Amino acid sequence: MSFSGSAEGSQSSRRAFEFGRTHVVRPKGRHQATIVWLHGLGDKGSSWSQLLENLPLPNIKWICPTAPTRPVSMFGGFPSTAWFDAEDISEDAPDDVEGLDASAAHVANLLSTEPADIKLGVGGFSMGAATALYSATCHVFGRYGNRNPYPVNLCSVVGLSGWLPCSRMLRNQLKESNETGTRAATLPILLCHGPGDEVVAYKHGDKSARVLSSAGFQNLIFRTYDGLGHYTVPEEMEDVCRWLTARLGLEGS
C-alpha cells in the first residue's frame, strides 16, 4: 500500500511511502474497541500481532501495520522499516514532519473504516510509540502538521519506551483554542519506560511525559519499571491491559 508523503497529499512534495503488510488480530469476544499498534524501528507488524493476540483483552481488535522501508539517517542512510526518518533521538534533532504526517494518516485510514460505536486508539513501541504520540497531537489539534484535517476521534493512546516528536511546537499550538485544550485535557495517555533502556534513554520518555503534562495533557500516566531495558515485560503488559480495560470501559472492567 502506498501513501503520499504528506497527509491528503501535497503539490510541493510527493515522496511515496510503500507501507508493508498489515496484520489484524480479531476480537475473541464482543468487539468494543480497535487499536492500531505500531512496531519499533526495523521491526514489522507480525512481531507484535503475536504478542497482542495472547493478551486477555477479548473485546479489542488489533491492527498491526508494517512501516515503509526507507533510508534512515541515524543508520547512515541504510534502509530499514521506519515510520519516519530520524537523525537522532533528541529534542534538538530535526523532525521529519512529512514522514510523521504520512504515518499518522496511515493510522487514521486504518481506523476510519471501523463502525461508529467502536472506540478507537493507537499505541506503539519505541519509534511506534513516537508515532502514536504524534497521532495524539494531530487528534488534539484537529489537523496534521501540514494543516490538513485529522479525521479520527482517538479514545486512548499507549506509548512504550518512546518519545514525543515535534515537542517544540506543542505548547504554542495548544494555546490556539479552548476546544484544543479540552481535547488535550481529556485524552487518556499511558506512557511506560525503563531506566535501563539503552536505545531510547529514559530521560527522553520522562521529559516527553513532562512536556505533555505541562502542555495540558492532564489525563496522562507515566509509569517507570525498574531495570527495564528496550523491551517489554509481563508486568508492563499487565498494566497496559488493566489501563485499557478501565479507560475504554471494556467488558469485565
Check if 197 is active-site. Answer: yes
First and final C-alpha spacing in the chain = 37
What is the chain's Cα-based Rg?
17
Q: DSSP readout, 34-70?
A: EEEEE--TT--HHHHHHHHHTSS-TTEEEEE--PPEE
Question: Considering 4, 213, 230, 239, which one is annotated as catalytic?
Answer: 230
Q: Which helix (H) or strand (E) holds 111?
A: helix 97-112
Alpha-carbon gap, residue 7 to 112, rounded angstroms = 14
Distance CA(209)–CA(172), nearest Å, equals 17
Residues forming beta bridges with residue 220, ordered by sequence position: 189
Please say whether the beta carbons of 205 and 237 come within 8 A. Answer: no
Q: For residues 244 and 16, what is the distance between their CA atoms, to the nearest angstrom?
A: 34
Pairwise CA distance, residues 98 & 14, whole Å: 10
Rounded distance between C-alpha atoms, residue 247 and residue 58, angstroms: 15
Known catalytic residue: 85? no
Q: How far is CA 245 from CA 26, 138, 241, 250, in A?
A: 17, 24, 6, 5
The active-site residue out of 6, 103, 126, 167 is 126
193 in catalytic set = no
Query: Which of these is catalytic: 39, 135, 197, 208?
Result: 197
Residues classed as catalytic = 126, 197, 230
